[in-house]
Amino acid sequence: MPLVAHNDLPAFARLNQEGVTVLSAERALNQEIRELHIGLLNMMPDAALAATERQFFRLVGEANPIAQFWVHPFTLPELPRGPEAQAYIERYYEPLDRIMADGLDALIVTGANVTGPDLAREPFWNPLTRVIDWAWANVTTTLCSCLATHAVLQFRHGQVRVPQPAKVWGVFEHRVTDKCHPLVADVNTRFDVPHSRWNDVSRAQFDAAGLRVLAESDQVGVHLATSADGFRQVFFQGHPEYDTISLLKEYKRDLSLHGEGGLRQAPPFPANYFSLREQAILDEYRARRAAAIARGETKPAFPEALVADRLDNTWHDTGEAVVAKWIGLMYQVTHRDRKLPFMAGIDPHNPLGL
């Protein structure tokens, strides 16, 4: 399933350099292969905007080669942006009205940064509910990531996420709990997923909402679930899209925030992520950094290169497999006219015949 570079979004060139197959629009239009148009509602903050594009584009582009993917990034104008990010969005992103008018085969909704405990008071709340409601009526399937999952559980099912005493942060083992569901039928029954969140929607809350839980962790709860019909909405509470160094970048950011007074306590190491060697390197860095600050000296450089090369990625293959299954199933039940989300004879309340 090659990605199609239908505009000059920098993510396409970057992924092509990394070995992901990316077709030019001219080449794609000369191939007798069905197009699939996937929206990416990117609500991430400015600094993470482009990285999030690449992470989800990579998962989509590495799926099985049965179609061409036209991925359409867009965002919500109500989200505050800096001048540079706003210029980037105006150049590369598509307006929501055009997305809705043209239609989509599938939609991915990312997480977002929040400013308070009540999601309903966030600037994205009303426009996000509008997009989700539109997608339910007009798009075959929507994949919600992390914060988007929490938002849908709240406004569609009345299940409000619960703040946790400590950040759920690290790489955790999960087990498939519904081995018959086609999204997980061919993946390892145990697999890792990164998590990074301060809030949780519990298994009991997913069950109360009538959703189907497909994979969960004894340590951090539910990762993968679907709507009651098994497919119209797919929920991630973890982050299988993360790059190998994503948690390292987040640790670096949180350490800097702590030094600037933005966090009361220095961040702990993400669970099950750094080896003892990397922990020792980072402990030494923190001690040197604290000493430099105490003496009023320049802080030492963060030892990212020393740590990054020794990190393991134990989650990408499974994340890629689940997304590939999601796309393959969507391909089977989506009408060629993407404004008609289901083919004749497909029951929208049970599209997979589960």
Give the chain's domains with CATH numbers.
Answer: 3-242+315-333 (3.40.50.880), 246-308 (no CATH)
| Model confidence at 194: pLDDT above 70 | yes
| Model confidence at 135: pLDDT above 60 | yes
134 CB neighbour count, 10 Å cutoff: 16
Tell me how far apart the alpha carbons of residues 283 and 317 are, in angstroms, rounded to a whole number. 31
Q: Catalytic pick from 62, 146, 216, 316?
A: 146
Residue type, 56: F
Q: What angle do CA 217, 222, 228 make, to 5 degrees?
A: 140
Running DSSP on this structure, what letter comes out for residue 121?
Answer: G
Residue 281 burial (C-beta neighbours within 10 Å; 0-12, 13-18, 19+): middle
**62 has catalytic annotation:** no
Instruction: State what percent of residues in the chain have pLDDT above 90.
Output: 72
For 157-243, strand residue ranges (E) read: 162-176, 190-200, 212-217, 221-226, 233-236
Q: What is the pLDDT of residue 348?
A: 73
Spatial neighbors of 20 by CB under 8 A, at least 6 apart, are: 3, 57, 58, 61, 62
Nearest to 267 by CA among 280, 278, 254: 254
Per the listing, tokens 């145990």 go with: 190
Helix extents (H) in the chain: 10-17, 25-29, 49-61, 83-92, 96-102, 125-138, 147-157, 203-208, 246-259, 276-295, 304-308, 316-333
Structure tokens at 273: 């992520």
**78 has catalytic annotation:** no
Name the band, by pLDDT with cuts 50, 70 and 90, for residue 345: low
3 state DSSP class of 234:
strand
For the residues 36-64, what does the mean pLDDT come to? Answer: 92
For the residues 35-40, what does the mean pLDDT come to? Answer: 93
| Model confidence at 79: pLDDT above 80 | yes
Mean pLDDT of the chain, nearest integer: 91
| Model confidence at 12: pLDDT above 60 | yes
Q: What is the pLDDT of residue 193?
A: 98
What does the pLDDT look like over 238-283, one tens digit per residue? Answer: 999 999 999 999 999 999 888 777 677 889 999 999 999 999 999 9
For the residues 1-29, what does the mean pLDDT come to? Answer: 80
Name the band, by pLDDT with cuts 50, 70 and 90, for residue 337: low
**320 has catalytic annotation:** no
129 versus 336: which is more confidently predicted?
A: 129
32 versus 353: which is more confidently predicted?
A: 353
Tell me how far apart the alpha carbons of residues 129 and 134 are, in angstroms, rounded to a whole number. 8
Tell me how far apart the alpha carbons of residues 123 and 112 are, in angstroms, rounded to a whole number. 11
| Model confidence at 158: pLDDT above 90 | yes
Q: Catalytic pick from 53, 239, 316, 320?
A: 239
3 state DSSP class of 264:
coil
Q: Catalytic pick from 216, 241, 250, 320?
A: 241
Q: What is the pLDDT of residue 38?
A: 95
Name the band, by pLDDT with cuts 50, 70 and 90, for residue 178: very high
Name the band, by pLDDT with cuts 50, 70 and 90, for residue 186: confident
